Amino acid sequence: MPSSRQPSSSSSVPSSSAATSPLSGFLGVFRYSRRALGLVWQTSRWMMLGLALCTLVAGVLPAVAAWIGQLIVDGVVSAMDAHQAASNPNLLASIAPVLTLVGIEALIIGLIALAQRGLSAQQSLLRAMLGQKVNVMILEKAGTLSLSQFEDSELYDQLTRARREASTRPLALVNKTFGLLQNAISLGSFSVLLVQFSPWALLILVVGALPVFISEAKFSGDAFRLFRWRSPQNRMQIYLETLLTREDSIKEVKLFGLEGLFLKRYRAIFTQLFAEDRRLTLRRESWGFLLGLLGTLTFYLAYGWVVVETIIGALTLGQMTMYLMVFKQGQTALSASLTAISGMYEDNLYLSNLYEYLEQPVEPENGTLTQGVAPGDGLRFEQVSFSYPGSADVLHDISLHLAPGQSLALVGENGSGKTTLIKLLTRLYRPTQGRILLDGSHLQEWSTQALRERTGVIFQDFVRYQLRVGENLGVGDTRAFDDEQRWQQAARHGMADDFIGRMASGYHTQLGRWFKNGRELSGGQWQKIALSRAYMRQNADILVLDEPTAAMDAAAEADIFARFREHSQQKMTILISHRFSTVRSADLILVIDQGHIIERGTHEELLKAQGRYAMLFQLQAEGYR
Ligand SMILES: Nc1ncnc2c1ncn2[C@@H]1O[C@H](COP(=O)(O)OP(=O)(O)OP(=O)(O)O)[C@@H](O)[C@H]1O
């Protein structure tokens, strides 16, 4: 879980890309547009070309339709005049050209509809494909992050934001880019018509739309900053939802009667967030309305002008109709373009978050060793100290040596650093001081693959996969993930075969409640599954069990350890346990207190020394008397 640190400055304050510096910040933020287009191109180039074609058609044809409209009106007027003037009018001859134009206009409108359908069909298909692609990118990246990066609340926020929003944003950006293109083409073709009336009309059109655009751009930035700033609250909401709806927490929530408390907090977060949303929405819409009025005003100015020109005979009736239509549609296209630009600005801000996450530096994988310089030397800690990022030392000056065939037990109070030592040994974290050697070579020099193969670890908080029983074992060795024989063998060693055998579908029984017919196991049974999982690593010669039997009954525990010793004779074993009955047979016992080794020796030696170990042992023994 991420630490509960408050988000640091960069999540509460907009990043440089979202900074308020006017034009440069605004333009700089478009740097992700090209990448979004590239992403769509990689996803499906045919659909991207299809989008471009439909955009072109839907962009050019409206102006053509307006021009045909003018020809129709003027055609009608002149046909009417001719019809009235002629003594013997030929109806068909006068209406045929106009009707042909009406037919062409109908065809054009049909084509525009077809292009728009094509656009929306391709957009919805692309949305699904692109959403999947981006989500896979996010998950693949997650696989490369280190444990400490996961525990960093800032990065976790970035990941949450990326997952929640960014999978839909690239397409939104591309749609807007194409929408912009379409409107720009329409606008270009409208301008060609409008400029014949007057270049001033064009200027009026542009000036009328600008204020709305500027306010939209400003509010998009505000919305994004709000989104970024409130990530921690959103995360808390998601967490509360999980607590209130997941079967693994609902038991306790019910028994402690926490529903009301959690719901209250959930509502309070919403109320707070909603107040900010409302404020922004109201401001955004009111300004949008007021500035939009300017656009309407300019339209009616132009309207009056065109009407006057028509009355004084400078324009035909058909031209008047066309110019009014062109002006109206031009205004719509222009404001749509400007809204698209400010929307793109917003999408870019969200995408900047996605790419910030995707570009998180990962620790280079530079270890290549598959064998140490002193094979058979085993494991050495040399004056190792460690502190978690941002906290004080958790381990100080730890030195130990474990040779193949030896067993080590770690004893100590809660929080003394036992699990942390295992995290260092498994390279989940690096020591802040000192070094760890495996077979004489620095742990960092080992190839990840070789190291993983040599270690089998079961942590206290092992994962209860909601998969089939066999797969729950198979995860211990991905190469044998589906190997039923290996499952059975591992289950025998971990003493899970008995109860698995009694299940109706045996190794194919679905575990957990998320899926239909999923079975739940008892705590001890889950532990046996986890233990068997460790035995899947046949080649592992370092076996680590962190509190492996805490949930097991005494008979099972004794049996488990008898088998454990039998299967680990040539191996190095490390055991963490609070039960002295489990610990006593280890070759070396380390007593850890607040990160220091305070005693070391065998059970007998430590009893003789009459120190902390002896005291704790007596205490536990008395409990059993
Ligand atoms: N991811 C982490 N980030 C920061 N501090 C941590 C983290 N994990 C553990 N700690 C702290 O490090 C100390 C040692 O924890 P560790 O889990 O190693 O103890 P432990 O001896 O295994 O305890 P237990 O017997 O309760 O399992 C504790 O004070 C704990 O609060």
Q: Of 581, 561, 591, 559, which is closest to residue 573 (Cα–Cα)?
A: 561
Q: Measure 257 CA to ligand 1 centroid, in angstroms.
A: 29
Residue 13's pLDDT band (cuts 50, 70, 90): very low
CA-angle at 289, arms to 113 and 274, nearest 5°? 95
User: b/e for 322-341, b at 16 or more Cβ within 10 A?
Assistant: bbbbbbebbbbbbbbbbbbb
Of 169-173, 241-245, 309-313, 536-540, which range is least confident?
169-173
Q: Measure 414 CA to ligand 1 centroid, in angstroms.
A: 8
* Minimal-distance CA residue to ligand 1 atom 18: 417
Distance CA 469, CA 482 (A): 11
Of 164-168, 180-184, 442-446, which range is least confident?
164-168
Q: What are the Cα distances from residue 81, in Å, to 67, 88, 92, 96?
A: 21, 13, 15, 15
Residue 166 confidence (pLDDT): 63
Per-residue pLDDT tens over the stretch 308-350: 999 998 888 888 888 888 888 887 887 788 778 777 877 887 7
By CB neighbour count within 10 A (0-12 exposed, 13-18 middle, 19+ buried), where does 416 fall? Answer: buried
Residue 446's pLDDT band (cuts 50, 70, 90): very high
Residue 322 confidence (pLDDT): 84
Q: Measure 279 CA to ligand 1 centroid, in angstroms.
A: 43
148 lines ligand 1 (CB under 6 A): no
Residue 21 confidence (pLDDT): 52
593 lines ligand 1 (CB under 6 A): no
Per-residue pLDDT tens over the stretch 121-154: 998 888 888 888 888 999 999 888 888 788 777 7
Residue 487 confidence (pLDDT): 94
Query: Closest ligand 1 atom, CA of 412?
Result: 21
Is residue 233 within 8 Å of residue 269, measured between CB atoms?
A: yes
Q: What does pLDDT average to over the chain?
A: 84
Domain 379-624 falls in which CATH fold?
Rossmann fold (3.40.50)
Cα dihedral across residues 240, 11, 343, 48: positive or negative:
negative
Residue 266 has which token pair? 């959930």
Is residue 390 within 8 Å of residue 149, measured between CB atoms?
A: no
Share of the chain above pLDDT 70, in %: 94
State the amino acid at position 476 in one-letter form. Answer: G
Give the three-state DSSP class for 536.
coil
Query: Closest ligand 1 atom, CA of 592?
Result: 21
Q: Measure 388 CA to ligand 1 centroid, in angstroms.
A: 9
pLDDT(102) > 90:
yes
pLDDT(1) > 70:
no
* Minimal-distance CA residue to ligand 1 atom 25: 414
Residue 440 confidence (pLDDT): 92
Distance CA 318, CA 70 (A): 4
171 versus 255: which is more confidently predicted?
Answer: 255
Is residue 588 within 8 Å of residue 602, measured between CB atoms?
A: yes
Average pLDDT over residues 517-534: 88
Q: Is 412 left (phi over 0), alpha (psi -120 to 50) or beta?
A: left
Q: Measure 148 CA to ligand 1 centroid, in angstroms.
A: 13
* Minimal-distance CA residue to ligand 1 atom 8: 420
Residue 439 confidence (pLDDT): 93
- Which residue's entry shows tokens 């080794």? 597
Q: Delimit the domains of the chain by residue range.
A: 35-358, 379-624
Residue 197 confidence (pLDDT): 80
* Minimal-distance CA residue to ligand 1 atom 24: 414
166 versus 244: which is more confidently predicted?
Answer: 244
Phi, psi (rounded to 5 degrees) for 216: -60, -45
Is residue 373 within 8 Å of residue 156, measured between CB atoms?
A: no
Q: Measure 577 CA to ligand 1 centroid, in angstroms.
A: 15
Residue 431 has which token pair? 């020591």
394 lines ligand 1 (CB under 6 A): yes
Residue 244 has which token pair? 């209130």
Give the three-state DSSP class for 517.
coil
* Minimal-distance CA residue to ligand 1 atom 26: 414
- Pocket test of ligand 1: the residue of 146, 156, 419 to mutate, having most ligand atoms within 8 Å of its CB, is 419
595 lines ligand 1 (CB under 6 A): no
420 lines ligand 1 (CB under 6 A): yes
Q: Measure 394 CA to ligand 1 centroid, in angstroms.
A: 8
Query: Closest ligand 1 atom, CA of 147?
Result: 1
pLDDT(106) > 90:
yes
Residue 398 confidence (pLDDT): 93
283 versus 158: which is more confidently predicted?
Answer: 283
415 lines ligand 1 (CB under 6 A): yes
Residue 437 confidence (pLDDT): 94
Distance CA 194, CA 399 (A): 84
Average pLDDT over residues 223-249: 81
Residue 458 confidence (pLDDT): 86
CATH of domain 35-358: 1.20.1560.10
577 lines ligand 1 (CB under 6 A): no
Q: Measure 396 CA to ligand 1 centroid, in angstroms.
A: 14
295 lines ligand 1 (CB under 6 A): no
Q: What are the Cα distances from residue 603, in Å, to 4, 49, 582?
A: 39, 75, 11
State the amino acid at position 421 in one-letter form. Answer: L
4 lines ligand 1 (CB under 6 A): no
* Minimal-distance CA residue to ligand 1 atom 27: 414
Average pLDDT over residues 23-44: 75
Average pLDDT over residues 508-526: 86
Residue 410's pLDDT band (cuts 50, 70, 90): very high
Q: Measure 147 CA to ligand 1 centroid, in angstroms.
A: 14
419 lines ligand 1 (CB under 6 A): yes
416 lines ligand 1 (CB under 6 A): yes
